[in-house]
Amino acid sequence: MDANTDLARGRACYAGEAWSEAFESLSAADGAAALGPDDLELLARSAYMLGRDEEYVAGLERSHAMWLDAGDVPHAVRCAFWIGHSMLFRGHHVRASGWFSVGERLLKAEGLDCVERGYLLIPLWLSQMGGGDWQSGHATAAEAAEIGERFGDADLVWLARDEQGRALVNLGRVHEGLRLVDETLVIVESGALSPIVSGIVYCNTIVFCRDLYALGHEREWTDALTRWCDRQPQMVAHKGLCLVHRAEVLQYGGAWPAALDEARRASERFTQGVLNQIACGQAFYRQGEIHRLRGRPAEAENAYTEANRCGFEPQPGFALLRLAQGNDEAAAATIRRAVAERTRELERAALLAAYVEIMLAAGDVDDAATAAGQLSAIAEHQDSDVLRATAAYSLGSVALAKGGATAGLTAGRRSWHGWQDLEVPYEAARARVLVALACRSLGDEDTAALELHAAREVFAELEAGPDLARVDSLAPGGPGMETYGLSERELEVLRQVVGGASNRQIAAALLISEHTVARHLQNIFGKLGVSSRTAASTFALEHGLA
């Protein structure tokens, strides 16, 4: 084909979102006779959609120079912005700043009032919101949206409005912010935005909804992103993130094999381009979580290690893995460090439930109670059903550890109903186990048995091995039928005491510190109503605990 035929085919393929053919045809046309700046931008955008970031930037740089030579400053500034945007998200902050400055200088020199001035507000609002200045970020995004409206640029308008929604939520105006996000979904699904901006809006908003624990919104946006990706089978750029989001939503819904498959596809097949590289660490973490919940510690540890290698900190899953392996000290040290690093409440919320679980296992009930209270306060402030259900489970676990069976039952029921309404079967089943333990403590063995049976069915279907084993141990006639409020770790310590072990020997046998042993013993004495090691040993032997 000659250059004109290649060019015509390239333009047609671009319009039809056939990105590979568009890139090949436009590249061929460019090789025969240098493309003009308009067509160079089509070539560059095709490269972007294929995850070819270097060629994307190279095409924009050539187009930028051509627009300048032609005296078209607005188009040159638009190219400068997108080059800077690419550099920013690839971690090249100095070069990104340089390109943004080029755009600002060109506009200032010409004294132009054009839509590109609004695009150059994007790095400003990213900096403001990234630093937690949501009020200023909201104002900057609002200014950009006004500029976009004035010049009829839908891409800028909805990039800005989507960010306004994020700012509003972080300012405590949750429902107002989510309504703006809902409106954005209608617009992006209508096809009113360009391909690159559509992908950015999809992925940014899903991450925002996930971080907000807005599960219903995350599901709907992920479904919409999946449909968008399916219409473009040749696209690479956003596929990795799409698969990661799908994996998370599928895991919530109890489709663990499908979730594992999607996470593996993301980490194995879609690794080209900065967005997919970001997704890779998240994909490995998702694999680690499913392996951990299914009782595959070696596979989980390998996946968490790979996630960390990709730059994604594998918490709280890695700390919970250490807990499952019986290494309470390592689990506690890790989760304490992770929580201490997080200052924003939603980031802390992602860790606090695990913190409560680990502190209870370590015998630090007071610390667990404090964390559960913090999680509950965050849930109310954020008005999040997911966080409410999570917090209720933590509060119920703490209540039971303190001997408050009635409070534990109330919180456990609240957690179960919350997860049921959200259609999250695994967490709902865990809550039913909590309800069973509370009923048992209140002497209602029949209801406890019913709740354990219902939970067991879910765990069996999910192949959640560790939870299944725990339920079996708690079932009537099982070894854990009557524990008198003692945790599994406290039972281990008690059995060591019955065997005559000292605190030092117990610490060595269980790989925990003597301080932790002493704390476990204090909790054991309180729960059993005894005041000495001898009395505790006698109680254990008389009641079948050893």
- Rounded to whole angstroms, the Cα distance separating 196 from 81 reads 14
- Residues whose CB is less than 8 angstroms from the CB of residue 173 and which lie 6 or more positions away in sequence, other chains included: none
- Rounded to whole angstroms, the Cα distance separating 371 from 508 reads 29
Task: Return the axis-axis angle of helices 122-130 and 73-89, rounded to nearest 10°.
Answer: 30
Contact 436, 452 (CB under 8 A): yes
- Write down all domains in the chain, each with its CATH number in brackets: 384-481 (1.25.40.10), 487-546 (1.10.10.10)
229 membership: H or E segment, kind and range: helix 215-230
Any idea what DSSP says for residue 13?
A: H
- Burial of 453: CB neighbours in 10 Å, binned 0-12, 13-18, 19+: middle
Alpha helices (H) in 271-402, listed in sequence order: 274-293, 297-309, 317-324, 328-341, 345-361, 365-382, 385-401
- Rounded to whole angstroms, the Cα distance separating 238 from 307 reads 19
DSSP string covering 454-522, please? Answer: HHHHHHHHHT-HHHHHHHHHHSTTSTTS--TT--HHHHHHHHHHHTT--HHHHHHHHT--HHHHHHHHH
- Pick the closest to residue 82 from 137, 119, 109 (CA basis): 119
CA 433 to chain CA mean position, Å: 26
Task: Count CB-CB contacts under 10 A for residue 21.
Answer: 16
546 residues of the chain, pLDDT tens digit each: 588 999 999 999 999 999 999 999 999 999 999 999 999 999 999 999 999 999 999 999 999 999 999 999 999 999 999 999 999 989 999 999 999 999 999 999 999 899 999 999 999 999 999 999 999 999 999 999 999 999 999 999 999 999 999 999 889 898 899 999 999 999 999 999 999 999 999 999 998 899 889 999 999 999 999 999 999 999 999 899 899 999 999 999 999 999 999 999 999 888 777 778 888 999 999 999 999 999 999 999 999 999 999 999 999 999 999 999 989 899 999 999 999 999 888 999 999 999 999 999 998 999 999 999 999 999 998 889 999 999 999 999 999 999 899 999 999 999 999 999 999 999 999 999 999 999 998 989 999 999 999 999 999 999 999 999 888 888 765 554 567 778 888 888 998 998 888 999 898 888 788 889 999 999 999 888 888 898 898 888 777 777
Task: Count CB-CB contacts under 10 A for residue 450.
Answer: 15
Task: Return the axis-axis angle of helices 345-361 and 385-401, rounded to nearest 10°.
Answer: 20
SS3 state of residue 104: helix
C-alpha distances out from residue 410 to 138, 375, 396, Å: 40, 17, 7
